[in-house]
Structure 1
Amino acid sequence: MCLLLIAYRQHPQFPFIVLANRDEFYARATQVAGPWHDQPITAGRDLEAGGTWLGVAPNGRVAAVTNMREPQMPEPADVLSRGEIPVNFLTGEQTPSAFAQGIEGPRYRGFNTLLFDAHLLSDDHNPALVCAGNRHQPFAITAGVHGISNGAPDSPWPKVIHGCTALSKLTAGLPNRLDENSFVTPALDLLADTRRAPVDELPDTGVGEALESALSSIFVRILDGDAPPGTPLSTGYGTRVSSLVAVDRDGGIQFWEQGYENGQRSGAPRHFRLNPPAG
């Protein structure tokens, strides 16, 4: 997952909305979103490492993870897959804050993870939404529109700034019932933006100007010739999945996933509805 756009407590009916793009190698084996047969969650699945980039659970939980772009950092000894972090939270019972404190950060390559529990929306003592990572301390996300890409949370990368601005406008006009015209289509259009940032606005994460440019759009599409020859991304890399999550004030969750093949939309969005958690 390479971009998370979050509208938190910005709509009276939907206090938590997430729009997300997962960027990955085109050849990496992936299972489309759906209920897992071995875990009580609904998510896509990375078939290479077994985890997920974003998922939801009937207990009112939502979790997602992005990697940090830090090519010079060595891999940890006995490294764990970052995709297991959302799975472990979704299938557990700890609050977001408690779970965040227990993550073994040194065992993972750099990451940010978003942890949400609808049970805590009315709790004044335990935050319902927490961002954790192994390059910063966990913190409660405040009401507002936020963006997380492959740097620090809310880093002013062009895709984060443009995405947050667009999500603010979209959220302001949402009705109390979401449908294809009011939410799904405009949200997926927002996530399909292929405009690259001007060179003078690019971040410097150590991958070189050509790749910084190729990765600067909200929707990433890198084919033969778009990346320096011999680099890993030159074999085909980009947005594989766009995901939309909307949690209503009762804790009910709606989840849409749109898949892509080699940068082209594949089929219609899949839609899942999870009822509010009891209690």
Structure 2
Amino acid sequence: MCLLLFAYRCHCDYPLLLIANRDEYYARPSAPAALWEGLGLVAGRDLQGGGTWAGMARGRVAAVTNIREPGRAVPEDLLSRGEIPLDFLAGNSTPYQFALGLQGQRYRGFNALLFDLEADKPLICAGNRHAPFPIPIGVHGISNGAPDAPWPKVERGKKGLRRIMRGIGDTITEDNFVRPALALLRHSQPAPEAELPHTGVGPARERALSPIFVHIDNRKSSSPGTAAPDNDQAGYGTRASTLIAVRKTGRCQLWEQSFAQGEPEGPLRHFALG
């Protein structure tokens, strides 16, 4: 994922509400959210790395986002970051135990959100650029930098999620949560140049990556017969918007909308566990 927005213990019946966008190369093969047979979890599937970007099991949620670090050396014996949420959801370790056991040196930079309703420390942010720490009560956001770093998309997303939270009554519905959350995740206006972070990819790329919903179509700038490098030929952008709601009873719901080249692909999928 490239943007995680979440409200932790901000609603009396829903200890965790998560909305997120997964940004990825359009050429990277993926499968939409589904039940993983034999594992009791629901998640999308990265068909190249074998893992997932976000998913749920009963009373458990996990999601991962990368850290933008251009030019940093690739670790030896590299592991896919998508294995992190998959392994957590398929296991029974507490979030903190799981975070301590991660071989951080074998991954590119990441932040992972790990939630277990029954754990002493239910919500942990793991990563290999910081020690694992419990998330405090409130509305938070993680993009491709430090947790809650005030990037424009993070600040805009947190403001939008707070507004959505004010409209939720006793229970979430399509009208008070699903539709407004998906609309927020489709916000595509780039940030003003003065507000852009500086992550080493250059001003043009920083601006293209600054909206909540990203769409970079490199086909428009490629001459006929000229190949762009590697996966970037088809472009890069938001491939899925994922919503997860955990009720205090342990019941979890997940909605996911896939995208191709900036447009919805297939129906909105909905799953419930517990």
**How far did residue 233 of structure 1 move?**
3.9
1:170 aligns with 2:156: no
Alpha-carbon separation, structure 2, partners of 1:116 and 1:226: 41
Contact 1:4 1:147 in 2 (8 A): yes
How big is the shift at 1:96?
Answer: 0.5
Deviation at residue 139 of structure 1 after TM alignment: 0.3
Quick check: 102-111 or 229-238, which moved more?
229-238
Aligned partner of residue 4 in structure 1, secondary structure: strand
1:234 deviates by 5.4
Separation in structure 2 between the aligned mates of residue 24 and residue 227 of structure 1, nearest angstrom? 19
Question: Displacement of 1:38 after TM fit?
Answer: 4.7
Partner SS, residue 10 of structure 2: coil
Alpha-carbon shift at residue 227 of structure 1 (Å): 7.8
User: Which residue of structure 2 lines up, in the alignment, with residue 18 of structure 1?
Assistant: 18
Structure 1 residue aligned with 2:5: 5
* Aligned equivalents of 1:159, 1:83: Cα separation in 2: 23
Q: 1:47-66 counterparts in 2 under 5 A?
A: 47-58=47-58, 60-66=59-65
1:98–1:224: structure 2 CA closer, same or farther, 3 Å change rule? same
Q: Return the TM-score normalized by structure 2.
A: 0.94
More deviation, 246-255/188-197: 246-255
Query: Percent sequence identity over matched residues?
Result: 54
Distance (whole Å) between structure 1 residues aligned to residue 222 and residue 261 of structure 2: 18
Give the match for residue 80 of structure 2: 81
**2: distance between equivalents of 1:219 and 1:77?**
32
After TM superposition, give the deviation of residue 268 of structure 1 in Å: 2.5
Q: Which letter does structure 1 place at the counterpart of 2:102?
A: I
Counterparts of 1:28 and 1:234, CA distance in 2:
11
Partners of 2:245 and 2:122 lie apart in 1 by 15
Aligned partner of 1:224 among 186, 197, 218? 218
**Partner AA of 1:261 in structure 2:** A
Instruction: Write the mapping of 1:122-271 to structure 2, written as runs, cut at 5 A.
Output: 126-224=120-218, 230=228, 233=232, 235-271=234-270
Q: 1:63 to 1:69 in 2, by over 3 A?
A: same
1:123 match: none
Aligned positions, number: 269
Give the direction of change, closer, same or farther, for the CA distance of 1:38–1:47 in structure 2 (3 Å limit).
farther
- Taking structure 1 as the reference length, the TM-score comes to 0.93
Name the Cα RMSD after superposition: 1.6
- 2:90: which partner in 1? 91
Segments of 5+ residues of structure 2 without an aligned counterpart are none
CA contact (8 A) 2:27 2:232 kept: no
Deviations, residues 213-232 of structure 1 (Å, cap 9, x unaligned): 00000000001278899566
What's the offset of the Cα at 1:36?
1.0
Structure 1's unaligned 5+ residue stretches are 121-125
Report the Cα distance in structure 1 between the residues aligned to 2:148 and 2:81, rounded to whole angstroms: 20
CA contact (8 A) 1:49 1:83 kept: yes
Name the structure 2 match of 1:101: 100
| DSSP-derived class of the 2:164 partner | helix
Deviation at 1:133, TM superposition (A): 0.2
Higher mean displacement: 195-204 or 230-239: 230-239
SS in 2 for 1:119: coil
